[in-house]
Structure 1
């Protein structure tokens, strides 16, 4: 079996940097959610005057809406996958540390046990 040698501080550093990058991605998604409708409205229409309810909508607005609808699921997936990956890596590292602490405690417990002395010809085997 291959031994593991994980730098807990190294993992924490990577998780911190990845979380910071993920926040930037989240902020970009939120900004897109707010600015895309404005961009669609500002793109205008082909015709000069507009009658009807709501803001005018032209081919650019339609294309932007199609783009956003097509990519919205992908963006949500990336956000959820990133969160699950970060949480999973943190949990795995915590379990690794707990395993190290358990092994250290087991070793310490074995080390402080009273030794057993077996002398040749001793009738009391396993005497302490």
Structure 2
């Protein structure tokens, strides 16, 4: 059991790393997409009187619209692993009701909204 749980946790850590890379990649793509000027010229970088280009806006909207889906993945993995540990420990202790409760709670969807709010507050404190 420990071997399986350690592999699940390793995969969750790798997922967190991948999600961080995804965020940085989207940000880099948005910056590289260029800007629009009033004269209709599209240029790279950001200067005064320029607005984010259409591609950058679309990438930003995509990232915003998929934020909850992306955050759900590691939360689901963590909840599942923790539920498996709790259920296994309860079975070993002979507490079948506690084991059932642990399994049941592990199947419930994580509260992504609360997680994102907490992460945003933490990020705002670092700025």
- Is TM > 0.5 for Structure 1 vs Structure 2? yes
Please say if 1:63 is aligned against 2:58. Answer: yes
Query: Do the aligned residues in 1 keep the contact of 2:34 with 2:42 (CA within 8 Å)?
Result: no
Match of 1:98 in 2: 93
Residue aligned with 1:52, SS: coil
The structure carrying a bigger helix percent of its residues is 2
Match of 1:43 in 2: 33
Residue segments in structure 2 that go unaligned for 5+ positions in a row:
96-127
**Dislocated runs of 4+, deviation >3 Å:** 48-51
Query: Do the aligned residues in 1 keep the contact of 2:29 with 2:56 (CA within 8 Å)?
Result: yes
Residue segments in structure 1 that go unaligned for 5+ positions in a row:
1-10, 101-128
Query: Do the aligned residues in 2 keep the contact of 1:19 with 1:86 (CA within 8 Å)?
Result: yes
Match of 2:98 in 1: none
Q: TM-score, normalised by structure 2?
A: 0.60
Larger radius of gyration: 1
Q: How far, CA to CA, are the matches of 2:15 and 2:51 in structure 1?
A: 30
1:25 to 15, 20, 26: 15
Please say if 1:74 is aligned against 2:69. Answer: yes
Q: How far, CA to CA, are the matches of 2:48 and 2:67 in structure 1?
A: 28
Query: Do the aligned residues in 2 keep the contact of 1:41 with 1:56 (CA within 8 Å)?
Result: no
Q: Which has the higher contact order (CA 8 A, sep 6+)?
A: 1
Match of 2:121 in 1: none
* Cα displacement (A) at 1:45: 3.3
Q: TM-score, normalised by structure 1?
A: 0.59
Query: Do the aligned residues in 2 keep the contact of 1:22 with 1:82 (CA within 8 Å)?
Result: yes
The structure carrying a bigger strand percent of its residues is 2
